[in-house]
C-alpha cells in the first residue's frame, strides 16, 4: 500500500505537466505548420525577425518577400511567424496568442 501512495503524486504531476505544458505546445506547433503549408502568393506576412511584407513567390522551402520599397528578400518558409492578411482578403489570422 505504501508503494501506491508514493506513485500517485508522480502520476498526478505527469498529468498536470501534460495538460499544462506538452499538449498546448503540440497544438501550437500543429497550427503553425498548417499556417506555413497554406501560404500563398499575395499573403501579407510577418517573419520571426519582425519583417512585414507580401509573398512575391513561394516554393517548397523558400519564400520571396516583397518589402515596402519594392525590394525582394528570400527567407526560409519556417521563418514566417504569422499571416496578417490573406491574399483572398479573408481577414486576419493571428497565431501568436
Show the domain range for 51.
40-88
Whether 42 contacts 55, CB under 8 Å: yes
pLDDT in tens, 35-91: 999 999 999 999 999 999 999 999 999 999 999 888 999 999 999 999 998 877 554
β-partners of residue 83 are: 45
pLDDT in tens, 10-29: 999 999 999 999 999 999 99
pLDDT at 93 over 60: no
How many other C-beta atoms can be found within 10 angstroms of the C-beta atom of residue 74?
A: 11
pLDDT at 6: 86
Q: What is the CATH number of the domain that holds 69?
A: 2.30.30
Asked if residue 79 and residue 45 are part of one domain, the reply reads yes
pLDDT in tens, 37-46: 999 999 999 9
Beta strands in the chain (DSSP E): 44-47, 52-58, 62-66, 72-76, 80-85
Asked if residue 15 and residue 29 are part of one domain, the reply reads yes
Domain total in the chain = 2
Which of 52, 43, 30, 31 minimizes the C-alpha distance to 83?
Answer: 43
Report yes or no on 93 lying in a domain: no
Amino acid at each position: 500500500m505504501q508503494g501506491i501512495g508514493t506513485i500517485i503524486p508522480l502520476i498526478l504531476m505527469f498529468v498536470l505537466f501534460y495538460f499544462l505544458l506538452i499538449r498546448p505546445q503540440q497544438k501550437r506547433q500543429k497550427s503553425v505548420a498548417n499556417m506555413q503549408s497554406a501560404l500563398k502568393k499575395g499573403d501579407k506576412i510577418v517573419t520571426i525577425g519582425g519583417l512585414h511584407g507580401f509573398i512575391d513567390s513561394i516554393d517548397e522551402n523558400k519564400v520571396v518577400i516583397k518589402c515596402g520599397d519594392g525590394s525582394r528578400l528570400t527567407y526560409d518558409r519556417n521563418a514566417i511567424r504569422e499571416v496578417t492578411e490573406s491574399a483572398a482578403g479573408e481577414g486576419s489570422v493571428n497565431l501568436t496568442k
